[in-house]
Structure 1
Amino acid sequence: MIAEWQNHKTQLRSYVSKRIDDIDAVDDILQDVYIKASSNLHQLKSKGSLKSWLYRIAHNTIIDFYRKRQPYEDLPEDLVAEEQDTGKQAREELAQCLRPLIEELPEKYRTPLRMAELEGVSQQEIANQLGLSLSGAKSRVQRSRVKFREQLMACCDFEVGQDGITDYSPKDPANNPKC
């Protein structure tokens, strides 16, 4: 291995020095390449591929060198981790805004929609509480969503982008008194 290493060492040094902006680190990187190659020699498939294998190790070692050098700032000691907001508060605020529109739906649609969307009740539990089959509860929730969407579209104009709804504005309540 040492004889083969000596044959490629000069070329590897040139390869590394062209890619590293710190001249002092070139020898350190070459040493790391040699250590990695020596300890993983059993992975070399054929002696003919030694040169390309060494260059791959050198390339990966250069990448590791730059990864270690990425600047970072220490966080202040008094920094307190924010509570992880799962969006619960936002959902509750939205639910309060949407509740009046949901209340305008007929009871048949209002109850399953409120249970599924505002209370987080499973569709199986909705079926149990309303005396429906599971497929009946699923259908009821789906129809409730459609009716609610129609009502929402009648009351608001939405701007939709790649990330979903990006903006909205209420329509004139004079045209639709339920809004």
Structure 2
Amino acid sequence: MYDHIKQMYLVYYHELYRFVAKLCRDPDQVDDIIQNTFLEAIKSMETFKSHSSLKTWLFGIAKHQLYRQFRKNKIQLDLDALAEAELATQSDFSDKLLAEQILDAINGLDPPHNEIMRLRLIDGLSFKEIGMRVGKTENYCRVNFFRTKDKLRKEFAYEHM
């Protein structure tokens, strides 16, 4: 559990700091809000149901911690700044970059591996339809897809650690 919390902290601390600092100018309060955000996340980890990404969940907690801090100190929140900060978190550049890298990796696969992956992931075809298109059996396409997906998952997990 400790390693998971440490990893979460290392991955999201700087983004949370920028988000909170944009709305709260006092560095001491920013640190308190971020600390409270991670404490609340640790306490509520069992209730996280993965309906959203971990990042979205943490930013929601941070937003509520900001509201609490503002109410406690009777500070007015600049709604325009909040909307701008939330938009910045939604356009996550690293997710887009990762998707492009995965697509490049799929395009670099040998046929029929690349075609099976593209037809399944991009076109959303069933394995039966893919088999008819590439001239292979449904089972061949299914096994090939899952083996290639597992191989790519391992490559990208290793690269992004």
Fold conserved (TM > 0.5)? Answer: no
> In proportion to residue count, which structure has more helix?
2
Larger strand percent: 1
> Could you tell me the TM-score, scaled by structure 2's length?
0.42
